């Protein structure tokens, strides 16, 4: 049993923000693998199903980015999911736009969604970090992550999302280095 978590903010005007790339990944997984219809549960939108004979729960927290851990803790306690079986998809400023890095554990690196999850379940879970690059010019980081992708970036994110879902069998096996390499070389 695995829990996939996509980080983002639940408002309609946030849908195409850089900060919402985790939600886009969960939507893509739900569609590709025909997971159940999203239902509001555990302060998030929850879907369930099977991928490669593995029971999967996938959630988009509705608690807003900075409180994502509240939703995750409720869900893992209810279904008795170990933190080691949680995989979080989120944006990362410190990674070149369009690159993916998957890892187990580590610091929050200033990402408030990850800091919230760390606070509620600890650091022993996997993260799929989607590079959104750093802001250019005088724009503040908080403003940058809440901006929509431009048209070119949006097309790139669509391709990355497809590459991630196409490589899901590797991720489910928690072969994080191989997953990163496979996704980045497609």
Question: Active site includes 90?
Answer: no
Closest by Cα among 171, 176, 133 to 32 = 171
| Spatial distance between the Cα atoms of 88 and 8, rounded to a whole number of angstroms | 11
| Spatial distance between the Cα atoms of 55 and 57, rounded to a whole number of angstroms | 7
Q: Are 19 and 65 in contact (CB under 8 A)?
A: yes
Catalytic residue among 18, 19, 43, 90: 19
Closest by Cα among 20, 12, 18 to 60 = 20
Q: Which residues are catalytic?
A: 19
């Amino acid at each position: 049993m695995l829990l996939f978590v996509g980080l983002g903010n639940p408002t309609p005007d946030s849908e195409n923000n850089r900060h919402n790339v985790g939600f886009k990944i969960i939507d893509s997984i739900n569609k590709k693998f025909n997971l159940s219809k999203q239902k509001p549960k555990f302060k998030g939108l929850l879907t369930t199903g099977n991928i490669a004979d593995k029971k999967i729960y996938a959630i988009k927290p509705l608690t807003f980015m900075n409180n994502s851990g509240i939703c995750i803790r409720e869900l893992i306690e209810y279904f008795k999911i170990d933190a080691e079986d949680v995989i979080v998809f989120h944006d990362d400023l410190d990674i070149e736009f369009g690159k993916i890095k998957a890892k187990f554990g580590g610091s929050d690196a200033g990402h408030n969604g990850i800091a919230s999850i760390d606070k509620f379940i600890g650091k022993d879970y996997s993260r799929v970090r989607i590079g959104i690059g750093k802001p250019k010019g005088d724009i503040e980081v908080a403003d940058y992550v809440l901006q929509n992708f431009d048209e070119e970036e949006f097309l790139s994110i669509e391709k990355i999302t497809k590459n991630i879902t196409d490589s899901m069998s590797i991720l489910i096996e928690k072969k994080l280095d191989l997953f990163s390499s496979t996704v980045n070389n497609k």
